[in-house]
Structure 1
């Protein structure tokens, strides 16, 4: 069965992972976020029961 032969597919997978790890990933990680996280203390929201019209 030819799909079990790892010769061409392993090399393609290895090259694609190396390309991602060495070239694409550092370029993606160098971008800065437009919305940096803030250090606010958020108060928990108060929930009220839902007014069901049939009850």
Structure 2
């Protein structure tokens, strides 16, 4: 039975995972936003209230 022979699909699976683990982490890490979205100065600034 050809599906029980691990030679072709085991090598393809191993190379696919090696490729995935080699090339994908840098691509994913470029999309990580390294800066804090709320800078500490934004909490200190208060808007002026309107005097009508």
Q: TM-score range by the shorter chain?
A: 0.5 to 0.7
Structure 1 unaligned blocks of 5 or more: 39-55
Shift of 1:25: 2.3
| TM-score, with structure 2 as normaliser | 0.55
CA, structure 1 residues 30+2, in 2 after alignment: closer, same or farther (shift >3 Å)? same
| TM-score, with structure 1 as normaliser | 0.52
**Alignment root-mean-square deviation, CA:** 2.0
Deviations 1:5-39 (A, max 9, x none): 00010110011001100012221122124xx677x
Q: Which one has a larger percent helix, Structure 1 or Structure 2?
A: 2
Q: Which runs of 4+ in 1 moved over 4 A?
A: none
